Amino acid sequence: MDSRKLLNLALSKGGDYADLYVEKSFYNTITLQDGEVNAAGVHQEGGLGIRVVKGQNTGYAFTESAVPSDREKTALIASHIANNGAVVKTADRFTTAQLPNRYPSLIPWESMSVHDKMPFLYRLNELIFEQDKRVSKVIARLENSTSSIDFYNSYGDHFSDIRPLASLLVVCIMEQNGHRETASVSRSFRMGAEFLTHELVSQLAKEVTERTAFLFDAQQPKGGEMPVVMSAGSSGILLHEAIGHAFEADFIRKNESVFSDKMGEKICRNGIYVIDDGTLQGNRGSLNIDDEGVPAQKTYMVTDGILTSFLHDRISARFFNTTPTGNGRRESFRYAPLPRMRATYMENGKDTEESLIASIKKGLYVDTFSNGQVQIGAGDFTFFVKSGYLIENGKLTQPIKDTNIIGNGPRTLSTIAGVANNLLIDDGTWTCGKGQTCPVSCGMPSVLVESLTVGGRI
């Protein structure tokens, strides 16, 4: 591929910047259902995405063809975002970035056949049925993918990155006296086939069985405003929804976020640090380098209660005259990059989870979640709670389930009343949607929020 020629064509109408994103990806799945591993899938795809940036504006086109003339046509389509201005030329030579290795594949997935993978799913199924007589159905799915990326831009930057991603998901359905309940658990890492271990299988079997059985004793809580203790780990969904999206700098530069004019302001109590991190070894949200050639980094969004950084791609960083934070991500060659989260979490505080619970006379403790959403401009966010407990007089009492919790981002941040010292990163299959999907993760120590609106029975 003549990268320089393509970039110059892309810039020929007066664009400021152009990049090429060449991807080849392989996806494999096997599924266990009704006691048998009897379905497998293979998906292979590749293509070239060409982006041209003019100011804050983007021209984007992609082709699945490797024929040079098709690729040149694609570059010309993307070039049309610009229609005047001096023509910028691509740098004379490309410098290849030396990348860290945040996701080594010790055992390449290609070395593992379907036959090698199947026993893990069978064992998972067996363990779940052994652990509880009420289990009626188990669905387990193993997914692994490898994406090979080659990137070139008009500044002369080049990188090659190979990104593995592995996920194991299990759904358990139980029946008790004609009543059914279902729960799921998952793990996902950027790893090779060393991901698959008997220890992982045992953990998932235990967790999914316990979670499903728990639901028979749980009920939807009484609704209304109340204090909520969010347990360590997957409660990081609060940060993802209440803070992360509203800190993505495309919303900021368009003045559409409720946090648009709060840079440098105190937004929560002292001692709170919120981070978006692309550097965690093997984490689902980690990257060696982002999808527009900026090294991934650990970004402090909130430092000691002060808003200190938004999440930037190249366009927003240029707009704000700052450096990009390595958050320019895309689902595939079919999409232009946008500011996206990676692993979003809060650092430890000084409280203990026990003390946070003990401080509540009447409230809610929540510990597993399925999905969330936010309205960037209004600041209202929600997350769906799969399980938790009522807190009564400082103790966990009645199990609860299936409630949507809603709050307002800035107000919720300002009412975080306690942060425990038990930070946990959740390694489930978190996937963020923003017109295109990206694998992410989240984490949090246990946190007490003074007031949130809990959906429930009246």
Residue 233 three-state SS: coil
3-10 helix and 68-79 helix, angle to the nearest 10 degrees: 30
Distance of CA 125 to the CA centre of its chain: 27
Instruction: Determine if 112 is a binding residue for other proteins (CB under 8 A).
Output: no
Q: Which is nearer to other proteins, 58 or 160 (CB)?
A: 58
Q: How far is the CB of 160 from other proteins (least distance, A)?
A: 20
- From 189-197, 252-260, 293-301, 416-424, give the range in contact with other proteins by CB under 8 A: 252-260
Whole-angstrom Cα distance, residue 441 to residue 284? 6
Instruction: Determine if 136 is a binding residue for other proteins (CB under 8 A).
Output: yes
Q: Do you know the residue count of the chain?
A: 458
Binding-site member from 2, 64, 217, 304 for other proteins (CB under 8 A): 64
Side chain identity, residue 46 = G
Q: Which of residues 405-424 bind other proteins (CB under 8 A)?
A: 405-408
Side chain identity, residue 190 = R
Question: In sequence order, which residues have a C-beta less than 8 Å from that of residue 120 and are 6 or more positions away?
Answer: 142, 168, 196, 198, 201
- From 303-311, 317-325, 340-348, 403-411, give the range in contact with other proteins by CB under 8 A: 403-411
Q: How far is the CB of 420 from other proteins (least distance, A)?
A: 25
Q: Which is nearer to other proteins, 138 or 289 (CB)?
A: 138
Q: Which of residues 349-388 bind other proteins (CB under 8 A)?
A: 370-373, 375-384
Phi-psi sector, 295: left (phi>0), alpha (psi -120 to 50), beta: beta
> Which residue is associated with the tokens 């923003």?
434
Q: How far is the CB of 224 from other proteins (least distance, A)?
A: 5
Q: Which of residues 215-244 bind other proteins (CB under 8 A)?
A: 220, 223-225
Binding-site member from 1, 87, 114, 358 for other proteins (CB under 8 A): 114
Q: How far is the CB of 57 from other proteins (least distance, A)?
A: 5
- Is there a contact between 340 and 432 (Cβ–Cβ < 8 Å)? yes
For the CA atoms of 118, 120, 124, 125, the dihedral, rounded to the nearest 10 degrees, stands at: 20
The neighbouring-strand residues paired with 452 are 226
Q: How far is the CB of 109 from other proteins (least distance, A)?
A: 13
Question: In sequence order, which residues have a C-beta less than 8 Å from that of residue 163 and are 6 or more positions away?
Answer: 103, 146, 147, 148, 149, 190, 287
Binding-site member from 105, 188, 257, 429 for other proteins (CB under 8 A): 257
Q: Which is nearer to other proteins, 353 or 380 (CB)?
A: 380
Q: Total residues contacting other proteins (rule CB under 8 A)?
A: 84
Binding-site member from 282, 334, 352, 421 for other proteins (CB under 8 A): 334
Q: Which is nearer to other proteins, 7 or 289 (CB)?
A: 7
Structure token digits, residue 202:
């045992």
Distance of CA 67 to the CA centre of its chain: 34
Q: Which is nearer to other proteins, 358 or 378 (CB)?
A: 378
Side chain identity, residue 198 = H
Site string for other proteins, 44-63 (x = CB under 8 A): xxxx-------xxxxxxxxx
- From 4-12, 174-182, 278-286, 293-301, give the range in contact with other proteins by CB under 8 A: 174-182
